[in-house]
């Protein structure tokens, strides 16, 4: 018994039936506009969440705005602390004995530098995460728009059947399998 593997590949021709979702009828205008990926991207870029509304993914909008609210709070919190410790350090090292910072008996100069750098780093990370959330909002709108008209029916089957194939020149023949995916 021998197993023969052919390298010829054959495909079916698509018959343009009215029920076929892949058929294209030239000369006819569709009765509705196609869902636009570009429109979803631009809408999300202009106002985060608007692309999700266009894609009818309403449940994602509160998640996006909660993320922006949390990151906005983190930016505000870290910016205030960074400015407080930066100003305290500046007053401490300015060389003028009449200027006194609020942390004179609480933190040393090295502690103020450490705190200032800590909150500056957290501020920078908060801004970066906000930019990442903005980009993810746009990417999510694009992916949802691409998949908006994608439909999976309940009748998804894969059938394997034996088949007899001929080579392109018709001189050779071999037996193999046919895989049929029904959507």
pTM (2 d.p.): 0.65
Indicate whether 4 pLDDT > 80.
no
Indicate whether 168 pLDDT > 90.
no
DSSP state of 15: P
- CB-CB neighbours of 166 under 10 Å: 13
Question: How high is the pLDDT of residue 13?
Answer: 52
Do 88 and 76 form a contact (C-beta atoms < 8 A)? no
CA distance 49 to 40: 10
Work out the angle at residue 147's Cα, subtended by the Cα atoms of residues 143 and 149, and round it to the nearest 5 degrees. Answer: 150
Question: How high is the pLDDT of residue 52?
Answer: 96
CA distance 34 to 150: 12
DSSP state of 35: P
Picking from 182, 63, 79, the residue whose alpha carbon sits closest to that of residue 127 is 79
CA distance 78 to 123: 5
Per residue in 80-138, pLDDT (tens digit) is 999 999 999 999 999 888 888 889 899 999 999 999 999 999 999 999 999 999 999 99
**Position with higher pLDDT, 4 vs 43:** 43
48 token code pair: 């985060």
SS3 21: coil
Give the HSE-up count for residue 149: Cα atoms under 13 Å, Cβ half-sphere: 9
């Amino acid at each position: 018994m021998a197993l023969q593997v052919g390298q010829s590949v054959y495909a079916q021709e698509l018959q343009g039936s009215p029920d076929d979702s892949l058929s294209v009828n030239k000369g006819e205008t569709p009765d509705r506009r196609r869902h636009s990926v570009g429109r979803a991207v631009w809408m999300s870029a202009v106002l985060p969440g608007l692309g999700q509304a266009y894609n009818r993914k309403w449940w994602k909008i509160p998640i996006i705005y909660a993320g922006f609210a949390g990151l906005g709070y983190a930016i505000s919190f870290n910016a205030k602390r960074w400015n407080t410790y930066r100003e305290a350090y500046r007053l401490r090292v300015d060389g003028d004995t009449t200027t006194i910072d609020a942390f004179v008996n609480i933190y040393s100069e090295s502690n103020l530098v450490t705190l200032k750098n800590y909150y500056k780093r957290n501020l920078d990370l908060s801004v970066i995460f906000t930019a990442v959330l903005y980009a993810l909002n746009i990417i999510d709108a694009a992916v949802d728009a691409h998949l908006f008209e994608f439909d999976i029916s309940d009748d998804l089957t894969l059938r394997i059947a034996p088949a007899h194939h001929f080579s392109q020149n018709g001189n050779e023949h071999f037996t193999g399998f046919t895989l049929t995916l029904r959507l």
